[in-house]
A and B are shown apart, each in its own frame.
Chain A
Amino acid sequence: EVQLVESGGGLVQPGGSLRLSCAASGFTFNNYWMTWVRQAPGRGLQWVANIKQDESEKYYVDSVKGRFTISRDNAQNSLYLQINSLRGEDTAVYYCGRIEYGSSGRPRIDFWGQGTLVTVSS
């Protein structure tokens, strides 16, 4: 059974930093691209970042470029999101997800974690 379990969220002051983690199990982690998606309270989903299996490609939404860093440790079956210079608008539930390409070559997020809440407030 595929499982993704996020951790590392919490209350942080503006300008602070956090490192979110996502522990993956039930599949061969190093075969998949992975993603982070966030959702501000009462708002819609916002894609944040994608990372290739070997970390050779990383993509970010414009609003987090230079502040967020996606990474992974394939030996530990773990995905990370380092978030720096936090702002109030970064307050959200952060979900990690597995990206499946399948035979069609059209990527989608086929498994999601339960999310971890990041609250930016003084």
Chain B
Amino acid sequence: DIQMTQSPSSLSTSVGDRVTITCRASENINRHLNWYRQKPGKAPELLIYGASNLQDGVPSRFSASGSGTYFTLTISSLQPDDFGTYYCQQSFGSLTWTFGQGTKVEV
């Protein structure tokens, strides 16, 4: 099975900060990598798909890049609404998917 490892596990930030979260896959997943954000008590929401494509309605301060085994999610200027836990997810391996362990962003 493909394992996904995110870092850091948590970070404490300030409004206006530039934030970068990394996600590593245990094997090549091409660009089959998605990013989600989850707020407490809520369902996750899709932010980025296909490694770098912004989902409709997601603010342009979010960007992402990567391919193969190394991926990043960047928030260019953190806003108060950006708190939550961010997850990467691979959708490559024979339709058996895995999520990273999550990165908790505290503003």
Interface residues of A (CB under 8 A from B): 35, 37, 44-47, 50, 57, 59-62, 95, 100, 102, 104, 106-110, 112-115
Determine which of A46, A62, A106, A112 lies in contact with B91 in the assembled complex, contact meaning CB atoms within 8 Å: A106
| Interchain nearest-CB distance for A73 vs B (Å) | 21
Query: Interface residues of B: mostly helix, strand, loop or mixed?
Result: loop
Interface residues of B (CB under 8 A from A): 1, 31-32, 34, 36, 38, 42-46, 49-51, 53, 55, 85, 87, 89, 91, 94-102
| Interchain nearest-CB distance for B27 vs A (Å) | 16
Query: Interface residues of A: mostly helix, strand, loop or mixed?
Result: strand
Docked-complex contact B44 and A112, CB < 8 angstroms: yes
Provide the bound-state CA to CA distance between A112 and B46, in Å: 9
List of A residues within 8 angstroms of B85 by Cβ: 44
